[in-house]
Amino acid sequence: MVQYGYFLRLYALLYVLTFVDGPFRIGLQVMEFTIPIFWSYQTMTAFAFVFAVPMAKRLELTGSLLGLSGSQILFQGIVGATLIVKSRRMEIPEGLVSQTPSTGE
């Protein structure tokens, strides 16, 4: 009987990558800067068109999971890098930050 432990490990990795995607998307949506989400989906689609058939034919089930994981890594890279760069460039309005710490009195 064929062992599929590696398959479950790859699937768990894919699940973790998909779970991490949520806060990145929400962060960009809160900043009202969603164009990187659009472009990351376009990149994932192009990646799938180019690599789906060769990876599935050559590596079968493992190739399919590697392709799914690769597309998620592309998505995380684009959205995560954009979120980091955009958040570093943000200016905090003066009304949100107090100049003197409150003593609670």
Q: What are the pLDDT digits (tens) for 60-102?
A: 888 888 888 889 999 999 999 999 998 888 776 666 665 666 5
Question: How far apart (Å, rounded) are the C-alpha atoms in residues 66 and 59?
Answer: 9
Any domain includes 101:
no
Asked whether 36 and 28 are in contact (CB, 8 A), the reply is yes
Asked whether 72 and 17 are in contact (CB, 8 A), the reply is yes
Question: How far apart (Å, rounded) are the C-alpha atoms in residues 66 and 64?
Answer: 5
**Length of the chain (residues):** 105
Question: How far apart (Å, rounded) are the C-alpha atoms in residues 35 and 37?
Answer: 5
Dig out the tokens for 46 from the structure: 């192009």
What is the pLDDT, as a whole number, of residue 38? 94
What's the gap between Cα 28 and its chain centre?
A: 12
Any domain includes 45:
yes
Any domain includes 94:
no
Any domain includes 98:
no
Any domain includes 95:
no
* Domain assignment of residue 62, given as a range: 11-87
Give how many domains the chain has, as a whole number: 1
Proportion of the chain above pLDDT 90, given as a percent? 31
How many other CB atoms sit within 10 Å of the CB of residue 83? 19
pTM: 0.73
Question: How far apart (Å, rounded) are the C-alpha atoms in residues 41 and 21?
Answer: 12
